Structure 1
Amino acid sequence: MSIRSVDELGSHLIEELKWRSAELDTWEGLASSCRHHQRTGVLRAGVALLYAHWEGYIKEAARAYLEYISLQGLRVGDLRDELAAVALRTMLGSGEQSKRSSDHTSIVSALRTELQRKAHISHERSMIRTRSNLKFDVFEDIMHSIGCDSSRHELQRAMINNRLVKSRNDIAHGRRLVIEVEDWIDMRTRVGAILKDVRDQIRVAAETQAYKRADPEIF
C-alpha cells in the first residue's frame, strides 16, 4: 500500500518498530534465561540481530518518508534543499563525474527546468545508502538527506561505531568475541532510543511539512 497520508506514514513507522522491538524482547528473554554455557553463542547472535534492526529500521523509515513526500505532488523547487538533492541525485552525480565545462553548463540549464517539474523521488530501499555498515557518520548522512537531525545522538557515536558495528563485523568475520548480557541490554536500550527518535522526527516533519522549502524561488 502506498503511503499517502501522515497517518499512514505514522502507522507504518510504528508497526515497523513494533515488530522489531518484539523480536528483540524475545531475544533478551532468551539470553537472560539460557544456561551459562549457551549464553556466549546466543549473545553473539544477538549482536548481529540488533545491528540488523538498527540498519533495517533506519533504511525503512527513511524510505517510507521519501515515498510519502514523493506522493505529495510537489515540484522539485518546492522541496527543501536536502530533499531536492535526493530528487536530482542522478543528474548531480553525472555532473560530478564530468570535467567538461559544457557538461556543467548543460546540467545547470537542466536544473532550472527540473525545479519547475513535479518531484519524482525514488524510494526504493536501494536509494538509502547504508553501505551495509551503518556507522554513525553514515547515519548522519542519511538523516541529513531527509532533513532530520542526528546531532542530538552525538553522545552515542562511540557506542554505535566501537561497540555495535565493530562487534557485529567481528562476529560476521568469525572472530572470537564475548558479550555480556548487561552490555547487550545497554546497547539495545540506546539503539532503541535512537530509533524511536527517528520515528518521531519523521512523523513531526511530515505533520509540519518540514520537507518544503520555506521560500520556493527558482535560483
Structure 2
Amino acid sequence: MKIKDLEKLEEKIDRDFSWRKVELLQIKMAIEKNNVSLSKKTLVRSGIALLCAHWEGFIRSVSNYYVVYICCQKIQSKYLKENFLAFKIKQDVRKSGESSKNSVHTKFLLRIVDLQEEIFSIRFSDIPEKRIINTDSNLSFELFDEILKSIGLENIYETKRNYIDNEMLKYRHEIVHGESYRDTEYDFTEVYDQVMSIMESFKFQVIEAAEEKKYLKQIENSNII
C-alpha cells in the first residue's frame, strides 16, 4: 500500500470513516425506532458488538495509514520524532534486553546510529499481528493512549475514558462471553454519540498532523519537505 500525498491520505481516511458511520447509524436508528421484527435487547446487543468492531477497526486502520503516509514521504529517520524510530528497533530492543553481552548492546547502539541516516520505511501488511500497529482485538483506553503515543499524537480524549472502558468495552465483554444484561441499563445512543465523536476527532487529528508535518522534529520542521 502506498499513500504518497495528503489527498490520498484524506481519501482513504474519509472512505474508511464513511462506511463505518453508515453501518452504525443504521443500527442506531433501528434501536431508536424500535419498530422492527427484532427485539430492542437483541438490537442493542448487536449494536454494542458492531460499535466495538468499528471503533477498533477505524483507529487501527487510520493509524496504519498515517505511518504508511510518512514512509512514502521518503524522509531520513533522523528528521522524524523518536517514536517512529521505535517501530524500527523493536526486535533489536528485545534481543539486546535478553543478552548480558556488551557486544550485543554495542551492536544495538550502532544499529540506532545507522538507522538515523536511513530513509524511514516499514513494510505494511494488512494481516493481523503483521500490521505496523495492532489493536489486539480489545481497544481499551490504555491501548488507545499507547497508539497515540506511538504515532506521536497528543491524547485529547481523557474525558472519554469512561465511555470506552466502562460503557462500551464492559458490555462488549459480557456479550461475547454469553452473559445477559437488561437493555434498560445501557444507553446505546449516548455511547454511540461519544465513540463517534472520538473517531471523528481522531480522523481530523491525523489529517492535521499530516498537513502540519507534526511527525518531524521541531528543530528540523522548517528544513524538510
2:159 to 134, 140, 155: 155
Contact 1:31 1:181 (8 Å CA) reproduced: no
Instruction: Measure the CA separation in 1 of the matches of 2:102 and 2:181.
Output: 53
- Counterpart Cα distance in 1 of 2:150 and 2:191: 26
Report which stretch shifted further, 67-76 or 94-103: 94-103
Alignment of 1:1-219 (within 5 A): 2-35=2-35, 38-125=39-126, 126-150=131-155, 152-180=156-184, 183-215=187-219
Q: Is the 8 A contact 2:79 2:216 kept in 1?
A: yes
Cα distance per residue 1:85-125 (max 9 Å; x no partner): 12333323332333333211110012111111111124334
Residues 9-33 of structure 1 deviation map (CA, whole Å, 9 limit, x = unaligned): 0111111111111111111111122
The AA in structure 2 aligned to 1:142 is I
Q: Distance in 1 between matches of 2:93 and 2:121?
A: 15
Gap runs ≥5 in structure 1: none
C-alpha separation between the residues in 1 aligned to 2:23 and 2:44?
14
Bigger shift: residues 163-172 or 123-132: 123-132
In the TM superposition, what is the alpha-carbon distance from 1:35 to its structure 2 partner?
Answer: 4.6
RMSD: 1.9
Partner-residue secondary structure (3-state), 2:61: helix
> How far apart are the structure 1 equivalents of 2:52 and 2:205?
21
**CA positional deviation for 1:180:** 4.1
Does the aligned pair in 2 maintain the 1:87–1:122 contact within 8 Å? no
For residues 214 and 70 of structure 1, the distance between their equivalents in structure 2, rounded to whole angstroms, comes to: 18
Aligned-pair CA distance for 1:144: 0.6
* Structure 2 CA distance for aligned equivalents of residues 133 and 168 of structure 1: 10
Alpha-carbon distance, 1:211 to partner: 0.8
What 5-or-longer segments of structure 2 have no aligned partner?
221-225
TM-score, normalising length: structure 1: 0.91
Q: 1:132 corresponds to which letter in structure 2? A: S
